[in-house]
Structures are given as C-alpha cells and as structure tokens.
Structure 1
Amino acid sequence: MRVFLASVPLEAARVVIVGAGEPALAKLRLFLNTPADLAWFAPDGEPATLETPQGAPAPAGRTPHAQDFAGARLVFIALQDVAEAARLAGLARAGGAQVNVVDQPGLSDFQTPALIDRDEVVVGVATGGSAPILARDVRTRIEGVLPAGLANVARMARELRETVKASVPDFMARRRFWERAFRGPAADLAAEGRTAEARREMLRLLNVAAPEQGVVHIVGAGPGDPELLTLKALRVLQDADVIIHDRLVPEAVLERARRDAKRLYVGKARGDHSVPQDQIEALMIEEARAGHRVVRLKGGDPFVFGRGGEELEAVRAAGVAVFVVPGVTAALACAASAGVPLTHRDHAQAVTFVTAQAKPGGVDADWTRLAAPNHTLAIYMGVDRAEETAARLIAAGRAGSTPVAIVENGSRPDERVLTGRLDGLGALVRGASLTGPALLFVGETAAFSAAQLDVRAEFAA
C-alpha cells in the first residue's frame, strides 16, 4: 500500500480554498454539501456568476494572509503561479493545516481521491496523484453498484448504534447482529427510504441477537492467483474471524480476507511440519468452540491431496458445524496456464491425479495402470522423487520418449514451465533448481506446453 486514505470528520472543520479557475471550483463543489466551515479566496479575480456553484460562499477577492489559515483543517490551493502557491502552502502548513496544491504533488501533504459520496458513506479511490483519470474510472465502476439509498442505511445504523451496544454487550454477537442487519431486509428497506419499516426490522433482529455457535469452513485457496478464488471462497474469507492457512497460500490471497481476522500459520514443508496435523485439527475445533467463524485455508483444493478429508472428519467428530468450499486444484490451474490439455480426443482418453509421496507404510501406486498410453498423469509432490517415478513408469511399460512438463508456481507471476522426455525427467528436475511448488505432467498432451512456450517466445520477440 503506497497511500493511506484517512477519514477526516468535517463537522465544524475549517476548509480553505484558494483560486477561481475550474480546479478550484471543483474543490469548492466537493465541500458544498458538507458541514465544513468553508472559506474561499479568489486572488486572481472572481469567476463569472454562471460558473459559481450555487450555495457557495462569497469569495474574498484577495490573497489570503497567515491569519486566514488559522484553525484550518484542510487547505486547497489552485493557482497558476507555482511559486505563490508554494508560499501560501507554507503559511497554511504553519497554521496547522494539511495542504493540497492542485496538480503539484511535490508541494502537497495529500492528494484528493476520487470520491463516491453517499452522505454517511464515502468511498475513496486513490493513486497517490500518479493517475487521477484511472482513479476516476475506477470510481465510476464502483459507483454503479452502490445503491443511492446507502446513506439511509448508515444513518439508521448511527442512530441505533448506542442502543445496540447497550442491548448486546457481547462483541461477537454485536458483530453478527450488524452483519444480519446490513445483509438482510432491514438494509433493503432503509435503502428504499422505508425508514419506519427498516427500524422495526432492526429492532426485531436486536431482540433475537445472541452469541452464535462457531463454524469451520475448509476452503480451497486455489493455486495462488487471487483471481482464481471462487466467489464463495471470497465471501467466506471476508466473513472469517480466524484464518488458519498453510504454506501454499500466498499473501496475495490472504489480502482478500477481512483485515482484522486473526491469522494463524500452520504451514508444512517436506520434513518440516511447523504444526503437526492433529494440532491443526485441535486448533480448528478450539477456535470454533470459542464462537469464531474459522476458515481453514488450503492451497489448491482441500480434497485433492490436501488432507481436507481428515480435517472434515475430525471437526465433525467434535460436534462442530463444518462446510467445505472447493478450490481450483493445482493440476487444473497449472495445466491451463501451461497450455497442457489434460484430456484430448487424439492423445489422452484419461487423466489421473497421483501423489509421489505415499503415506509411510501405505499401499504403493499401481504403476502398470499409471503407465498406460494415451493417459495424462498429473503428479503432485513429485519433485523429490522425479527420477524414481520416471524409472517405475518406464519399467511398467511407458515409453522413455513420452513428453513431460514441469510447471513451477503455476498461475502466478513467477510461473516457470520446463519440457522434456520421461527418460530425462530426473535430470530436468535437477537442472531446474526448483524452489516453488511444482507439478509434473507425463503424457502425450504434455507436448502441448512446448508449443505454448514457442508462442510465448514469439510474442516476446
């Protein structure tokens, strides 16, 4: 985050605007319907009557003095003379004001964001002054989805806030009450201006407000690209009180979660389990029993080599409500990004997801079945055993010339794709110096990734 948007209360705040051109008038219009104490100076001459915004204060046709800035909270200076603007900015700053010199970021303490004004609800979009037109376009897109009556909802919430606080002393129960109120009929009625009905619905909800039982959502975070989160996963993330996440969940995905949610890292790597599986399950149950909405966030899909089934079983056995939100698993995402069709009428009539890391003491894979031709293998956790896996497939009958592809950090900005043959898979892995999560593809369709790489190289050239 390069800029921070602060919320400045405007009740009785003194706001000073200097200038009479269109940039100054734009700032003036911004504050006309606010409770701010507005002062306007037009040292270059007053604008034409038709240009003056209705309801604006009469401009003082002079250059402001130091005392004119006394007690000012915000000062906007829109003058063509940059030296004079800088001098006035110094006077305003000496008086304790925050200063914006229009189109002069280097002389300003802040930039004006593109604002969506719904009276009690104000949304700002900022680019740090680098791209104001972009901020305006983003504002337009957001504005189209916000109801005009949103201010009514916020106004009613402000009026009932102390009543709710007194009636529902439990913090989590109070949070749940407001969520139900803002996402249900009460908010819809308020947005339509049906205030009396909305108030009655709010009070009805208030009478039944009580601490809720905790719940666990086992959520697939997908391969790492936050845009591949499902809509349901995004909604659950933004409602979570506690997020228990693993090593394969990148910060870009966590940033989509609610900011004040507690985050607990329980990542595992081969030979390094920071938190054992039974303790992860106990943690999920403990947080849910405390009344929290818990999201167990797992890379890919929780039911594809993610031990989600074990966690589901443990939470159910503890009598805690649990739900599963699927995610885009790595095989689908990496294959799509690398241009590897998992099935193809001419080359692969079957696809198998298989892990190279069998459970200690567990049953080994059926290599004869996995070595069948016209069959794509998506091998999870296969980097450390690539040479052994290739040898077993070849021994079971798969041709050494079978195409292979390795996709590291699939779908992410640092994605890397390597191609080769099955009989050279071990050497390909050793020479790749892989550091991120990687998936191995074996089969005729893996050759499509090489064609994809050629197309990328052509575009890059």
Structure 2
Amino acid sequence: MSSENTRLNVFPAFFRVSGKVVAVFGSGEEAFAKVRLLANTDATIVAYADTPEHDYAAYLREHRIATHALTFAPDLLDDATLVFAATGDAALDRCIVAAARERRVPANAVDQPDYCDFYTPALVSRAPVAVAIGTEGAGPVLAQMIRARIDQMLSPSLGRLASLAFDYRDAAEKLVPRGVARRIFWRRFFSQTVAEAVEAGDIAKARRTANALLSADNGVSGHVWLVGAGPGAEDLLTLRAQRVLMEADVIVHDALVPQAIVDMGRRDAERISVGKRKNAHSKTQGEINALLVELGKAGQRVARLKSGDPLVYGRAAEEMDALRTAGVSYEIVPGITSAFAAAADFDLPLTLRGVASSLIFTTGHDLAGDTLPDWSSLAVSGATVAVYMGRTVAASVTDRLIAAGLPADTHVAAIENASRRDRRLFHGRLADLPDLELRDELTGPVMVIIGNAVAGANLEKSEPLAMTVVTVREGTGSTQ
C-alpha cells in the first residue's frame, strides 16, 4: 500500500465461529500461534499436524484439541468455516488455500499475502470485548507493540462489565428512550459507579447502581460544546475534545477544521459545515448563532468545532451570548492555538529571558486599519507578536510597524499549515515580510511571528522568506 494512501485494503470484521470448525494445517510454530489465537474463542479447532513440535503437541493434548495426522486432501475442508495453512511448505499452503476457495471458505496462508482472504490480528481479549490490531501483513511486530499498549490501558474487569451489560440490555430498551438518553445511560453504566463496583469485585453493588440508573430521570436537555480543534494535526486534539466528538449528536464545524478531525465524531452524528471558504457560500455568524440555539433547544448535544482555540479569534463570545440569552447550556473545550503550534514547528521560544517577556496575539486585519493598535509600542520594546491571518496584508503591516519604530531587520518567522504534514516554514526580516503576498502557492492558513525571540528559532527547518536576492555592487551603492 502506498505511503500516501489513507484507505485500508481490508475491511475489519469479526467472524462468528462459536461451535464451528476452524481447520489449522501445520506442525510448527506458525500453526501453534494460530491455534493459541483461536483458543480465545469458542470455535471447534481441528489441527492437522502429522509431527507437531514438542510444545505444540503438549498444548494440543492439554486443551483436548482434535488432532489428525493426515495427508492433506480437499475433502478435509468440507465442514470448515475458516482455514489456516501453516505447513511451512509454501506450495502446499497455496494448494490448501485454493481448495478452500473452491468451497468458498475464507483461508489464510502464512507469509503469503496473495493467498490470504483475511489477516490474523494481534488480539487484546476482555471477552466478550475484543480489540483486534491489523497491519495488512506489513508489520506484525508493530501490531504486537500496539497490542501491548492497549492491553495496559484496558481494565482486567472490562469483560465482566460488558457481560453485566448484557443483563441490562432488554431493560434499557424498554425503560430508557432511544437516542441521546440511552447513550447517556450506557455511558454512565460503563464509566461511573457501575464500572467502579465491577472493578472492585462487588457485583451486587454494581447491580444496585445499574438499577438506580434505570429508574433515574432519563430526560435529556440540549447542550453545546464550543470545541477547539487545534491547529490541524489530529494528534494535537485534546482528549476532552475527542470525548465530546464521540458524545455529540451534531457536529457544526468550520472550513479550516480538517476532515480527519471531523471524522473522529460518532459515525451517526450529523455533520454541518458552516465555515467560510473562498468563492463559496457560508453561513453568517448570526446564522451560526441561530443554528446552535435551534439545535440546543431541540435537545441536541452539539459540538461546535473551531480551528485552534475557540476563545482566540474564534467568535466564541457571540455564540456564548446567543446561547446564554436563549437559555441553552454550553461549555468551552480549549484547543491548542495556531501560534503555539507554529512556535513548536520552529523550535521557537515565544518568550525569552532578557529578550522578550511578553506575547501579543493579533490579526493582520487589525494591523491594516487607519490607526495602529496601542500594543505597537510593546512590539517596539521587544514583545513577540503573533499575527493570525496576516498574509494578505503583510505589506501594510510591515510599513506600519517600521513607521512606528520597529527596526526593519527585526526577525520574522512565517508558517503555512502549522503542525500539519504539508506545512511550509519561512524565515527572514521584517523588511522581507511583504513577499508573503507574492506567494500565491500558499493556500492554507499562515501564521506570522515577529520579534527578536525569533532569533532563537531553529531556522534550519525553514526557507528564506525573501523571494528576490539583493546584491550591492561594491563602491557604487547600486542594487540588482
């Protein structure tokens, strides 16, 4: 699979094998590994092994697994639901798979991807809960490393909790309304006192608590989360934001939020794009406010997903005011703002002892007005200035700041798509900043950082900001 391809070549699924025959051919370690994996299920395992290795033979005897020392014949597959070919003889394994396919039985030939109708995953079992990790055969060791991490994360009592949930499934369907109320019931069941009682081994207390949840008021009111999606990289999304996306019935998202982050929400959640895109219709802020109020009053739980942090140039104040006025509850879920991501990409200290002790957030549009903001004096005195959305007004920003007294050789860093794989980093001086407007290839959001602290950045990662090279002819003062 190409490194650029983000689609799977396989569809993850679970086979029903309880009481059904799964045939494993082979006498060595590979066949032994498949049988151990299958032993986590209720499958009827049949091992075809003429001379099983010592440990494998002992395992087969100990677990009373049916074992036959038979030469392969296609009719051995007649009752099988799945087939594993692990004989160590590649040609024989292919023959076994071919015979299985003639019978429309899924088969797997060890170390021969073209002869695998399915792959065996690394498995974390908390029966009836199972987590399967697959790499499409590319990295079994990687799958085992991931398995070890997940195994540490999941409580040993998770299986007992899931089994208890089976006992309450019918009651929940009868007593708890479908939709949001039922999701909240199960979320509380699996994450609060019921789970704690099961983990402590007190099943009687767990049942009492579950019964109380069933009889509780299951009415659900609407709620809105104003969620910071961060600068764009999926792994910079906070754990709280990820949890909210899984709880929300509706995801209202801006255009700058990557689709990969929007897709982290529940599969059945409604998605509504309200972001502004060039040459495309978008909702006004007033329409967005009205939409959030409408959804909240309808009892929906809404994730209002914004790029960066909702409280930094995210128009959150207007949305909060509309929700408060309408009596719709809401909360803020902070995100990593783009200035911090840009600084991290540059290894750039935004504050630096003896150089810059203050930090200013602004937008390029704020700097384009008739009056220079009051903080310009702070910039002149050494503060670091983080400019959001500054590319299209870079020239006027430069002229205004130089006129206010900021030296033309003040260090500048600029970055497109901070934190993302397709980011581009630039460095230069304040006098070079107008060249940003000439870079039509920059279509993503651009962050500009101005100040002497930029001198502490790792500029080896970036390219020069200036698009033209200026040379001075010695003795003439003329330039080219």
Give the TM-score of the pair, scaled to structure 1: 0.92
Q: Which residue does the alignment assign to 2:187? A: 179
How much has 1:428 moved relative to structure 2?
4.1
Could you tell me whether the CA contact under 8 Å between 1:17 and 1:39 is conserved in 2? yes
Which of 1, 16, 20 is matched with 2:27 structurally?
20
Q: Determine helix, strand or coil for the equivalent of 1:394.
A: helix
Q: Which residue does the alignment assign to 1:34? A: 41
Q: Which residue does the alignment assign to 1:9? A: 16
Alignment pair present for 1:352 and 2:360 = yes
Q: Which residue does the alignment assign to 2:51? A: 45
* Gap regions ≥5 residues in structure 2: 1-6, 464-480
Which of 195, 212, 215 is matched with 1:207 structurally?
215
Which of 416, 427, 447 is matched with 2:424 structurally?
416
Q: Determine helix, strand or coil for the equivalent of 1:300.
A: coil
Q: Determine helix, strand or coil for the equivalent of 1:164.
A: helix
Q: 1:359 to 1:384 in 2, by over 3 A?
A: closer
Which of 84, 92, 107 is matched with 1:76 structurally?
84
Q: 1:114 to 1:399 in 2, by over 3 A?
A: same
Alignment pair present for 1:222 and 2:222 = no
2:48 partner letter: F
Query: Residues 47-95 of structure 1, C-alpha deviation per residue, up to 9 Å, x if partnerless?
Result: 4443535223231111343333224221111112211111111111222
Pairing of 1:270-419 with structure 2 (within 5 A): 272=280, 274-358=282-366, 365-366=373-374, 368-369=376-377, 371-419=379-427
Query: Residues 328-369 of structure 1, C-alpha deviation per residue, up to 9 Å, x if partnerless?
Result: 111122122213322223322322111122499998634753
Which of 249, 263, 267 is matched with 2:257 structurally?
249
Q: 1:348 to 1:359 in 2, by over 3 A?
A: closer
How much has 1:110 moved relative to structure 2?
0.9
Q: 1:56 to 1:290 in 2, by over 3 A?
A: farther
Q: Determine helix, strand or coil for the equivalent of 2:266.
A: coil
Could you tell me whether the CA contact under 8 Å between 1:215 and 1:321 is conserved in 2? yes
Give the TM-score of the pair, scaled to structure 2: 0.88
Aligned residues: 454
Which of 440, 448, 459 is matched with 1:453 structurally?
459
Query: Residues 305-339 of structure 1, C-alpha deviation per residue, up to 9 Å, x if partnerless?
Result: 11111111111111100101111111122122213
Could you tell me whether the CA contact under 8 Å between 1:370 and 1:377 is conserved in 2? no
CA distance in 2, matches of 1:362, 1:315: 34
Query: Residues 102-151 of structure 1, C-alpha deviation per residue, up to 9 Å, x if partnerless?
Result: 22212110110000111201111110111111101110111012122211
How much has 1:412 moved relative to structure 2?
1.4
CA distance in 2, matches of 1:359, 1:446: 20
Question: Percent identical across equivalent pairs?
Answer: 41
Q: Which residue does the alignment assign to 1:427? A: 435
Pairing of 1:110-189 with structure 2 (within 5 A): 110-189=118-197
Q: Determine helix, strand or coil for the equivalent of 2:67.
A: coil
Which of 61, 71, 74 is matched with 1:66 structurally?
74
* Gap regions ≥5 residues in structure 1: none
CA distance in 1, matches of 2:342, 2:52: 63
Q: 1:273 to 1:386 in 2, by over 3 A?
A: farther
Q: Determine helix, strand or coil for the equivalent of 1:327.
A: coil
CA distance in 2, matches of 1:31, 1:431: 58
Q: Which residue does the alignment assign to 2:476? A: none
Could you tell me whether the CA contact under 8 Å between 2:425 and 2:462 is conserved in 1? no
How much has 1:35 moved relative to structure 2?
2.2
How much has 1:189 moved relative to structure 2?
2.1
How much has 1:182 moved relative to structure 2?
0.5
Query: Residues 33-55 of structure 1, C-alpha deviation per residue, up to 9 Å, x if partnerless?
Result: 5322222212x434444353522
Q: 1:80 to 1:425 in 2, by over 3 A?
A: same
> 401-410 vs 231-240, which deviates more?
231-240
Q: 1:16 to 1:105 in 2, by over 3 A?
A: same
Q: Which residue does the alignment assign to 1:93? A: 101
1:329 partner letter: T
CA distance in 2, matches of 1:364, 1:455: 32
Q: Which residue does the alignment assign to 1:437? A: 445
Instruction: Indicate the RMSD between aligned Cα atoms, in angstroms.
Output: 2.4
Alignment pair present for 1:268 and 2:268 = no
Could you tell me whether the CA contact under 8 Å between 1:28 and 1:56 is conserved in 2? no
Could you tell me whether the CA contact under 8 Å between 2:228 and 2:310 is conserved in 1? yes
Q: 1:155 to 1:367 in 2, by over 3 A?
A: closer
Could you tell me whether the CA contact under 8 Å between 2:28 and 2:88 is conserved in 1? no
CA distance in 2, matches of 1:359, 1:392: 8
How much has 1:418 moved relative to structure 2?
1.2
